[in-house]
Structure formats: structure tokens, C-alpha cells
């Protein structure tokens, strides 16, 4: 069975594929198709946006679809950027611009007050509607400068206290064992496994 991931972000797709290894699924994403509809991410929460992505594409493509929405919440910034994480620096936002904006806003804030958490919501839907939504989170601190070359998003700033290193320094092998996306997808695997079992029973 095909699982269509409602994203055009190749790095995010790579992580999702690696975290879903072992499931009998062909994982594709929006860039594999030419005619997918625009997704209006107007939800107020990660869970709402994940569901919007999954349901919008599932209704159009008539396939099993995974919608994922994730971002960074910084306590000292009132949990910003939150659902606006990917576009935090405005029009033409890039990972680098977003990271620089966070650093500017936290200028002068000591490390112990730079608590943050990554959050991720994963929704699964098919042509009949929403199947379920699960979530995960990972706590850390925002460093004083970008460090490391692995990952994407705010990974060069997100320090894991246990290691004293950012996700971008730790690399995917360690990140995949503890990240917000790992925790959410671990729960989503259960949703998918139950769905596939029902699908096979109906098909047989």
C-alpha cells in the first residue's frame, strides 16, 4: 500500500521514511505528483494543521495520507514561534533566517531561561476521513549560536542538555531515538498497523 506524506520538504520526508522502516508501505510525497491541491494551514495547533494536511490530500488523492506539523516553542517568547515555526521570519523565510530571528529575540537571555521544546503532530487519513491524530515532544534549550550541520529547521540551536550538543551536532542516529517526530511517529505506527490489518482483512 502507498502512504502519501503531505509535504514537499525532502528532509522531513527522509526522516519520516527512516522512522517508518519496517512497515509494508511505499512512501511517497507531494513532489511526486503534479496536480495536488494547495493546503491552507490555518489551524491554531499542530494537531489541527496535521489533520488539515492529511484530510485535504486524502480527499483529493483517495489514498492513505500522513499529515505532519511540527515546530518549536520557546518559553521565554511565550511559546513562539509555535505553528508559525517554518515561516517565522516572514516572507521568504529560510531555516537560517528563522534561526537568526530567534537568536535576536533571545539576546541577553541566560541559558537557564532559554528552555524550549520541539513539538510534532501526526495525522492519518484516507478517502473516508480522519483516522487519528497523535503527538510527541522533546525538551531542550536554545543555544547562543548555530552549531552543527545535520538535520534542518532549528536543529542547530536546539541543545539537548544530556549531551550538551545541538540536534545538528548529534546527528540523525541519536536524534531519531529521542526527537519529537520519533515519538509522534512511533504512536502513528500503531495507527498504521491497525489500519493495514483492517485493510488486509477487507481485501482478503
Closest by CA position to 195, among listed 119, 97, 128, 104: 128
From residue 68, how far is each of 41, 52, 94, 118, 123 by CA, in Å? 11, 9, 19, 13, 6
Catalytic residue among 32, 42, 69, 95: 69
Which helix H or strand E contains 56, and what residues bound it? helix 46-61
Cell numbers placing 75: 518559553
Residues in Cβ contact with 81 at an 8 Å cutoff, skipping those fewer than 6 apart: 71, 72, 73, 74, 88, 98, 102
62, 127 Cβ separation under 8 angstroms: yes
User: Is 69 considered catalytic here?
Assistant: yes
Helix (H, G, I), strand (E, B) or coil at 37: coil
Backbone phi, psi, residue 43, to 5°: -75, 155
Contact 114, 74 (CB under 8 A): yes
Catalytic residues: 69
Amino acid at each position: 500500500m502507498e502512504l502519501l506524506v503531505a509535504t514537499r520538504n525532502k528532509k522531513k520526508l527522509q526522516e519520516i521514511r527512516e522512522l517508518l522502516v519496517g512497515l509494508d508501505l511505499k512512501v511517497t510525497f507531494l513532489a511526486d505528483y503534479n496536480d495536488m491541491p494547495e493546503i491552507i494551514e490555518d489551524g491554531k495547533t499542530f494537531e489541527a494543521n496535521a489533520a488539515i494536511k492529511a484530510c485535504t490530500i486524502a480527499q483529493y488523492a483517495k489514498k492513505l495520507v500522513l499529515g505532519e506539523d511540527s515546530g518549536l516553542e520557546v518559553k521565554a517568547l511565550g511559546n513562539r514561534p509555535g505553528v508559525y515555526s517554518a515561516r517565522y521570519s516572514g516572507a521568504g523565510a529560510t531555516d537560517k533566517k528563522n534561526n537568526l530571528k530567534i537568536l535576536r529575540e533571545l539576546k541577553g537571555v541566560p541559558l537557564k531561561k532559554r528552555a524550549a521544546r520541539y513539538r510534532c503532530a501526526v495525522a492519518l487519513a484516507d478517502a473516508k476521513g480522519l483516522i487519528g491524530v497523535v503527538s510527541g515532544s522533546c525538551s531542550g534549550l536554545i543555544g547562543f549560536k548555530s552549531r552543527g550541520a545535520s538535520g534542518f529547521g532549528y536543529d542547530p540551536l536546539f541543545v539537548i542538555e544530556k549531551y550538551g550538543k545541538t540536534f545538528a551536532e548529534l546527528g540523525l542516529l541519536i536524534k531519531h531515538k529521542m526527537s519529537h517526530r520519533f515519538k509522534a511517529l512511533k504512536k502513528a505506527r500503531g495507527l498504521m498497523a491497525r489500519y493495514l490489518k483492517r485493510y488486509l482483512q477487507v481485501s482478503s
